[in-house]
Structure 1
Amino acid sequence: MSTIEEYDCIVIGAGVQGSFTACQLAKQSRKTLLLEQFVLPHTRGSSHGQTRIIRKAYMQDFYTHMMEECYELWAQLEREAGIKLFRQTGLLVMGPENSESYQLIKNTLQKNKVPMAILNHDNFCQHIPNVNLAVGNGAVVDLTAGVLYADRALKTVQGQFQKLGGVIRDKEKVIDIKPGPVVTVSTSAGVYRANRVVITAGPWANRLLAHTGLQLPLEVVKINVCYWKEKVPGSYDVKKRFPCFLLTEGEETKDHIYGLPSNEYPGLMKICYHMGSETDPDQRDKQTDRSDIDILKRFIARCFPGLVPEPAVVESCLYTLTPDDHFVLDCHPSYSNIVIGAGFS
């Protein structure tokens, strides 16, 4: 009979949330196990891909305040690992001047004294080439924002975790969780016990929480991650300091559209619609809705004249959403030694 391995903490889900949590626990000299159902690295969840936007431009103050610590932690990881994980590009925020979401972001930046630039129709073109600012729209730039190298960051923090003595077991799907003063976690390959368990399983969170008698109001949606070809290579290049951007709302949409300068695919700019269609995380390929791509094509034809308004590459990513779009980070209501992090999209 195989022995049951014992740990101080078990973290389930090795995406960005779980991997960083595990690393912080290992820094506190906790004997920590990080479990992942897929072979690492993988593209099945929400943390894959080469780039993500990092910003202080939010509608709510508390996110802007949280980002102060986030920037420090990213810089700390870069120093510890000796690897570049962040490139400052700025974030261009556009939206109807009189709309609530645009004004909230602008006000939050001003109130918190975040370095920023306010653009108008007269000076917009000289600062932001190859973009058309819609009539009635305002524009501000969060100068502190930029691009995080997501895949590189994930690999780096997992490496740091292992250097600190942490154990990663991938291709181990959790099949049961038995709560108690000591939590027992059974996987496809073994049984483990720990004083504390952290569940950061993204789209699979509710499947794991079912073992603990809890379900959260989480919705899993599939996002089409689209890359658009530059008509003239280099027009929207990260090396030429072209910024990330966020459209709060526009002619085509009431939801955000966001984009990052060309980087992972040379000559292709990443522009996506910040909403998708509900899906089963294990059956994502059956979700073939492309209505978001039609919205993006109209937006790009109007606002980005230097891009071909037909996606050159379409990949997919899963979002996990809560009803109010704010994440859940809390202890289980019945078992205080089980911590839940979910809904980070």
Structure 2
Amino acid sequence: MAAPPTERSFDVIVVGAGIMGSCAAHAAAAWGASVLLLERFDLLHQRGSSHGESRTTRPIYTRPQYPPMVRLAHRLWDDAQRDAGYAVLTPTPHFNLGPRDDPAFLAAVANGSAIELAPSSADAPAWAEAFRVPQGWAVARSELGLGLGGVIKATKAVAMFQALAAKMGAVVRDRAEVVDVARKQGEGGTIVVKTSSGEEFHGGKCIITVGAWATKLLKSVTGTDLPVQSVHTLVCYWKVKPGREHELTAEAGFPTFGSYGDHGFYGTPSMEYPGLIKISKSGGPPCDPDGRDWAIGTGAGGMAELVARWIDEVMPGHVDTTGGPVLCQPCMCCMTPDQDFVLDFLNGKEFGRDVVVGAGFSGHGFKMGPAVGKILAEMALDGESGTAAEAGVELSHFRIGRFEGNPKGNAKSF
């Protein structure tokens, strides 16, 4: 058991209280460490990537590195919900569709152990009638999807992990912008974390999970050029056509879904707002997290219009695009060039293996928050992650060094 912390001294300081940082703080506190979790803005703010009503979870992935992490995360979601006494994840089927010869679609189906599904066949589920599959396209549902698909209440989930961390003794502070992370020479060489208000905190270890602000903070602290680009994306809610409202709900068994092709689209069952369904487009234009245009994508030719065209082609009998989406909510994704995460030590003579970075979750990391948080906590406290090894998660795939001399990192054609 760790020694009791002083007011300014902790075993682990976690910088950034989105889903990854909150999960890391919870995991470190569960380990028995004294933990400080610092958030730049108000807790549960809407300026980053971890807020909102919903995130999808799915086992179907184009790359084989992720299904093991999804499986690990689901075990940890279950554990956290049990400890909290309430649910943040609603299980659903998961459904994918795309051009029959699209390499990414084929890779996702293979990695997800999916089976092809003919919407018009006798054994097709009732919800398959909601989709009009374009000529030359295929559809698939993962056999694992019935256990690993679902919708996560995003803000509620972040709050759950913060509450669990605090229950285990973690100190949670918001409105504490970290401006420097350094090693103090002498006196044990602790990590010193400084805030914009002049406060200093000392930690044996530090975990940095600041989302869209990772590039700026790491550049300021170490001169490291982390290739993470923030993009502005738009979450759209559309009106379900009269008489179809119940058919598209989670209670009726309607799935989360994703579409491959020239653009990536995704959706969830009608849950958050009765009579509305979330259908959105992946990605968006680059943005500065400190100077965003919150209205990007809502006008003519924007992201919402692309989503409307997809709906009119694929779900015309069930979703109404007249007048555009009923609600639009801005969000950010923090993209790496290869769309893989960064989970690594901030190496170098100054920090050694005492500072760990989690960044670049590229619009698909939320579902794996509990797994990422536990991995980062173990890396910080033990120098390695036994949980990752046991789950079959190969951490070398997520190293910062993959970009050295290779700006595209792990990117390759399927």
Matches within 5 A, 1:58-69: 58-69=61-72
Please give the alpha-carbon distance, in whole angstroms, between the structure 2 residues aligned to 1:328 and 1:228.
Answer: 34
1:267 match:
275
Q: CA deviation at 1:127?
A: 4.5
Partner of 1:237: 249
Any residues of structure 2 matched to 1:59-208 within 5 Å, and which?
59-110=62-113, 116-123=114-121, 126-142=126-142, 143-144=146-147, 145-180=149-184, 181-189=189-197, 190-208=199-217
Residue 214 (structure 1) aligned with residue 224 (structure 2): yes
Between the aligned partners of 1:221 and 1:282, the Cα distance in structure 2 is: 12
Q: Aligned equivalents of 2:36 and 2:295: distance in 1?
A: 33
- 1:342 and 2:359 equivalent? yes
1:113 aligns with none
- Matches of 1:117 and 1:153, distance apart in 2: 31
State how far apart, in whole Å, the 2-side matches of 1:108 and 1:207 are: 35
CA deviation after TM superposition for structure 1 residue 121, in Å: 4.5
CA RMSD of superposed structures (Å): 1.7
- CA distance in structure 2 between the partners assigned to 1:170 and 1:223 by the alignment: 25
Residues 209 and 285 from structure 1, CA distance in 2 versus in 1: closer, same or farther, beyond 3 angstroms? same
Structure 1 stretches lacking a partner, 5+ long: 111-115
The alignment-based identity, stated in percent, is 33
Q: How far apart are 1:199 and its partner, in Å? A: 0.6
Looking at secondary structure, tell me which structure has more strand per residue.
Answer: 1
Instruction: Tell me how far apart the structure 2 counterparts of residues 119 and 71 of structure 1 sit (CA, whole Å).
Output: 25
User: Residue 279 of structure 1 contacts residue 287 of structure 1 at CA under 8 Å; is this kept in 2?
Assistant: no
Displacement of 1:68: 1.7
Q: CA–CA distance in 1 between the matches of 2:275 and 2:7?
A: 51
Q: Is the Cα–Cα contact under 8 Å of residues 13 and 205 in structure 2 kept in the other structure?
A: yes
The SS at the match of 1:295 is helix
Deviation string 1:309-336 (CA, Å, 9 cap, x unpaired) is 1211011111000000001000012122
User: Aligned in 2, Cα 1:125/1:83: closer, same or farther, shift over 3 Å?
Assistant: closer
Deviations 1:9-57 (A, max 9, x none): 1101000000000100001111110000111121111011121111111
Matched AA of 2:130:
N
CA distance in 1 between counterparts of 2:177 and 2:273 reads 32
State how many pairs are aligned. 334
Aligned mates of 2:22, 2:129 — CA distance in 1: 38
Does the CA contact (< 8 Å) of 2:210 and 2:359 recur in 1? yes
* Structure 1 counterpart of 2:155, one-letter code: D
Q: Secondary structure at the match of 1:242?
A: coil
Q: Do residues 227 (structure 1) and 237 (structure 2) align?
A: yes
Q: 1:319 corresponds to which residue?
A: 333
Q: TM-score, normalised on structure 1?
A: 0.93
- The 8 Å contact of residues 127 and 247 in structure 2, kept in 1 or not, is answered as no
Question: Mind listing any 5+ residue stretches in structure 2 that lack a counterpart?
Answer: 1-5, 363-414
TM-score by length of 2: 0.78
Match of 1:294 among 305, 309, 313: 305
